Chain A
Amino acid sequence: MRRPCLVAIGYAVARLFIACTTAHGFACISSSGPVPCPGPRWASHGATLQISLGTSSFNQAALNAANDWSAVGAAFQYVVQFASGQPSNVCSTCGPQNYNPVFFANSVCGLGFGDIVAQANICWDQHNNIVNGPVFVNSTVSWGVYDGPFTPPINDLHRVLLHEFGHVVGLDHPNQLGQTVAAIMNSGESDTDSLQADDRAGILSLYANAAPTPTPTPRIQINIGSARGGPGENVDITVSLAASGASVAATANDITFDSGALSLNPAQCQVNPEIGKSLSAGAVGSGWVRVFVQAKPNTSAIPDGPLYTCRVSIAAVALPRTYPLANGNTAAFSPAGAQLSGVAGADGSVVVSLVPQACTGDCKNNRQVTVADILTMVNIALGNAILSDCEAGDTNGDGQITVDEILQAVNNALNVREIGWTHPVP
């Protein structure tokens, strides 16, 4: 049986070669398993982790693990954001770019964990740029946070995430390259609970030996707005452009959301008719919509302001909380069709509340703002009346009636249109 013999010799030679030529044990990920670095990495020299682990101690453990990597001194930084609820769109392929949720789950995209207690799915593109690295933490096993020896069956979330975040950086297991080094990135049982010299050398090799890619300062913003509504209601979300003087003729962006609580029919996205463009929108996956504002019928620059509006339906079973509308894949194009750099965008949200937000100035709660209501507000502001005479005038809840609130009430009185309980408010 010749093939196994040749294979064995090949492995031996390869391992000997690696042992003789590799100063460190660290390894990088590749499509064929651990390889000597470099390998795929984040072109932006950073990644944003969306952490939603339920308790403050677990979230803190995750934050500490991310900070441990950021503190090495490599040209790589983790940004940590705390999120709520279960992430969406992590299973279809890679999910939105730089969308790296860290969360408890009882399955990985419908598949059982088996003997896995935590898993990072690392995705990279044809340019070897890592684009996404969601981390699934098995909710069916026991977790704690502790230092020192590994004491199964209680898994230490900090060291596990330290390891997984190393994968998200682009590192793999040095021991599977035939190396014998102390490293949090080793596979196999270990009492190691912190980054080791080899781990630090690994991230430095990925992000310090190469010139960092300058991160352009975002100057073009495609921002998703926010809205408030109750379960079973529809709300409109406006997406706006702030181009900072750049000529933007067309845009693209993704909106991702919790599909269990919200739905967004792409057919109910409408371009702002004042910008003279056309709109194309489609669902990329469940809870994931992509919207293009196209340079048709004209290629002129879009003025700053509203680009388009999408109607979001709140599920009748949605729990009252703030649901993020995550922005992703933002892109802008010049009138000549060139893709512009420095494009970013803010996330939006839908606040699901069981308490209707009163219309500013609707003192009598009768869905109208009258002159008498405005006078009442003025009197409260002057100290001639008490706030309970018009609590609906105190929009920001600071216990006072301000000039801004009076002006808003005047606008509401002039704007006779009513949208149920969501009368236009700032």
Chain B
Amino acid sequence: MSPSSQYSALRTSSALLAALLFGAASAMVVVKRDFPDLVARSEQIVIGTVTDIHEERDVSGAPFTLVTLSDLSVLKGDVGSTLTLRFYGGHAGDVVVAIPDMPRFTVGERDVLFVAGNDRDVCPLVGVWQGRFYVRFDPTVGTDVVEDSNHEPLTGVGGRELLRAPAISGVTPMTLDAFRQAIVDQLARPQPAGDTAR
């Protein structure tokens, strides 16, 4: 199967396959990052829509999955009209190289991403899954709201922590506008020494 047909099959079989399997995760295997950490350690913070996912292999044959976001709203850092994030993992010939717990993306979804180490680290998000938030339209409040990587709705910021509530709890989720404002407010605060983007 040629790389192009692999790509085609990947795209057409299911958007779910679009992903990259990256992983690592677990509290035990990923450094915990709280909200001020996420903001401070990010080199870019963007809200964007995933418009393309494809794979490539480097000269050594190692597979990578490239996730391109468009329709960007940039809250931190310098970003062009699109942003392509490079995750280690994907298909390599007839085998899949997967890292459990790596954030997975679907074309068409909208996310808030705290980016650091793109093209440099195995995962270009601060705290791996901790630096990825889904944006979804909530018909009950008539606007976009924000969920964490486990699809638990955010409900606000308490101290250094992002507050969450089970999806079925009935608690009003945090809107995208409120989350955006929380990020902007955090950016305006003085940053402790050593707590900055790498």
Interface residues of A (CB under 8 A from B): 1-5, 7-8, 11-12, 15, 29, 31-34, 40, 91-94, 108-109, 111-126, 131, 141, 150, 152, 155-156, 159-160, 163-164, 167, 172-173, 175-176, 178, 185-190, 285
Contacts of A119 in B (CB 8 A): 23-24, 29, 99, 122
Q: Give the residue of B30, B109, B149 whose beta carbon is less than 8 angstroms from that of A115.
A: B30
Task: Give the distance in Å from the alpha carbon of A313 to the alpha carbon of B63 in the complex.
Answer: 31
Residue from the list B27, B63, B125 in contact with A189, Cβ < 8 A: B27
Using a CB–CB cutoff of 8 Å, the interface residues on chain B facing chain A are 14, 16-17, 19, 21, 23-33, 60-63, 88-89, 92-101, 104, 106, 108-110, 116-117, 120-130, 135-139, 144, 149-151, 167
Output the least CB separation between B4 and chain A (Å).
18
Structural contact, A109 and B62, CB atoms closer than 8 A: yes
Contact, CB under 8 Å: A111 / B88: yes
Among the interface residues B28, B89, B135, which one has the most CB atoms of the partner chain A within 10 A? B28
Question: Beyond A1-B144, A109-B62, is A190–B128 a contact (Cβ under 8 Å)?
Answer: no
Given contacts A112-B121, A115-B33, A116-B123, contact A159 B28 (CB under 8 A): yes
13 other contacts beyond A112-B117, A163-B29, with CB at 8 A cut-off? Answer: A4-B109, A4-B135, A29-B100, A109-B62, A111-B120, A112-B122, A113-B121, A117-B30, A121-B89, A124-B98, A150-B28, A160-B29, A173-B26
Nearest CB in chain B: distance from A397 CB, A: 43
20 examples of A-B residue contacts, CB within 8 angstroms: A2-B137, A4-B144, A7-B108, A7-B109, A7-B136, A8-B138, A15-B151, A32-B19, A94-B92, A111-B88, A116-B31, A116-B122, A121-B89, A122-B98, A122-B99, A125-B95, A141-B31, A163-B26, A172-B100, A285-B60
Least Cβ–Cβ distance between B44 and chain A, in angstroms: 14
Of chain A, the residue at the smallest CB distance from B33 is A115
How far in angstroms is the closest Cβ of chain B from A20?
13
- Please give me the residue from chain B that is nearest to A117 by CB atom: B29
A31 and B27 contact, CB distance less than 8 A:
no
Residues of A contacting B61 in the complex (Cβ-Cβ under 8 angstroms): 92-93, 285
Nearest CB to that of B93 among chain A residues?
A: A93
Chain B: which residue is nearest A173 at the CB level? Answer: B101
**CB-CB nearest in chain A for B120:** A112
Whether A123 lies near B101 (C-beta < 8 A) is no
Q: How far is the CB of B22 from chain A (nearest CB, A)?
A: 9
**B-side contacts of A285, CB under 8 Å:** 60-61
A123 neighbours in B (Cβ, 8 Å):
92, 95-98
Taken together as a complex, chains A and B put the C-alpha atoms of A152 and B127 apart, in Å, by 15
From residue A141, how far is it (CB to closest CB) to chain B in Å? 7
Query: Which residue from B28, B92, B116, B137 sits with its C-beta under 8 Å from A160?
Result: B28
Which B residues touch A124, using CB under 8 A?
95-96, 98
Is B63 a contact partner of A93 (Cβ separation < 8 A)?
yes
Contact B89 A4 (CB under 8 A): no
Contact B92 A121, beta carbon cutoff 8 Å: no
Contact across chains for A29 and B21 when beta carbons are under 8 A apart: yes
Closest to A92 in B: B61
CA distance A156 to B28 in the complex (A): 8
CB distance B29 to A31 under 8 Å?
no
- Contact among A8, A91, A187 for B136, CB-based, below 8 A: A8
Which of A1, A3, A115, A167 gathers the greatest number of chain B CB atoms within 10 Å?
Answer: A115
A1 partner residues in chain B, CB cutoff 8 A = 137, 144
B100 to chain A, nearest CB (A): 5
A309 to chain B, nearest CB (A): 29
For B116, the closest partner residue in chain A by CB is A114
Cα A167 to Cα B26 in complex, Å, equals 11
Q: Which residues does chain B contribute within 8 Å of A108, judged by CB atoms?
A: 88, 122
Contact partner, A190, options B16, B28, B60, Cβ 8 Å: B28
Cα A108 to Cα B63 with chains together (Å): 13
**Closest-CB distance, A253 to chain B (whole angstroms):** 19
User: Which of the residues A11, A93, A159, A173 comes within 8 Å of B25, measured between beta carbons?
Assistant: A173
Name which residue of chain B comes closest to A28, CB basis.
B100
A172-B128 Cα distance, complex, nearest whole Å = 16
Report yes or no: B24 in contact with A118, Cβ–Cβ below 8 A: yes
